[in-house]
Amino acid sequence: MLRENNHEHKVNQTRREGRIGLIANKYLKRIRAAPGKKIRLDDFSTDWAQERDLKDAEKEAFKEKALKILDENRAALASAQELLWASNVYSILIILQGMDTAGKDGTIKHVLSGVNPQGCKVHSFKVPTEEELDHTFLWRFWRALPNRGEIGIFNRSYYEDVLVVKVHPERLRNLPPGKIGKKFWNARYEDINSFEQHLFRNGTIILKFFLHISREEQKKRLLDRLKDDEKYWKFSLTDISERQFWNDYQAAYEDAINATSTDLVPWYVIPADHKWVARTLIADIITTKIRSLDLQYPQITDEILAKYREAGRQLEED
């Protein structure tokens, strides 16, 4: 019987460590914002199950299973990332968006905890600086894109420029004169779609997640932050003032998702009222995506292999 060489062994190990897609496709389909169709956020659950009859039934068993899947995916993601890095063809860009307290930071921490930090970069985008405002809105994101072989995470992204800025158009600065209306925002969606298409065509796989929480859950999380002196640092008074604009934000998200969920780069509307649900789903989607690329470790020729063996022999004798 032929023995696996080291390379084959590693590839097969990656495959053995978990099935592609631990979560049923049927479920994933339901949280994917179908390109070309108009979605309404109200039709997407923020809770752990999309079906009413599943809502309370066997919740604990479901949670236990989900946490197991999360664990498996975390391990699988670590080896998938190593392969991504070694094959050096694609990069992965993960975009996390959501209302304040939706769980973006926690998701990054829990989903990517096993991944080699060398091949993974997180960027958190805040209110743009003067220098950033002196460029087009995509400029600061261009500079932060992952290199080939890397996973890049955008904690907030260029979508803020059609979300917070759409809710507060007074924040637009130094633009050529013109009406800020439907046409203006459509042009921004178009720019985003072109930008993402360009990246995709050049080997950047983009995964976009909207962490969908309910208004009640946000209230609960904000109050939690106010009750716990170890969580004060997470609290900001602007979270309360922005909450007043909840409906405007939901409308802005709906418009942005409808305009930019494409076949190449779809949006996932992740139920996020339960952190374990959101994390499990996101880990599964990322791992499945990297594995579907069917990456290979770089092959070496017999000639080089012979040289390596000779080098090894010499080292043994040293």
Positions touching ligand ADP (CB under 6 A) are 100, 124-128, 156, 160-161, 164-165, 171, 236
Residue 283 CB, nearest distance to ligand ADP (Å)? 21
**Whose Cβ is closer to ligand ADP: residue 106's or residue 266's?**
106
CA-based angle 90:276:291, to the nearest 5? 25
Q: Which residue is nearest to ligand ADP (CB)?
A: 160
Residue 246 CB, nearest distance to ligand ADP (Å)? 14
**Whose Cβ is closer to ligand ADP: residue 116's or residue 124's?**
124
Residue 154 CB, nearest distance to ligand ADP (Å)? 11
Residue 287 CB, nearest distance to ligand ADP (Å)? 25
**Whose Cβ is closer to ligand ADP: residue 60's or residue 233's?**
233
Residue 244 CB, nearest distance to ligand ADP (Å)? 13
**Whose Cβ is closer to ligand ADP: residue 28's or residue 164's?**
164
**Whose Cβ is closer to ligand ADP: residue 27's or residue 245's?**
245
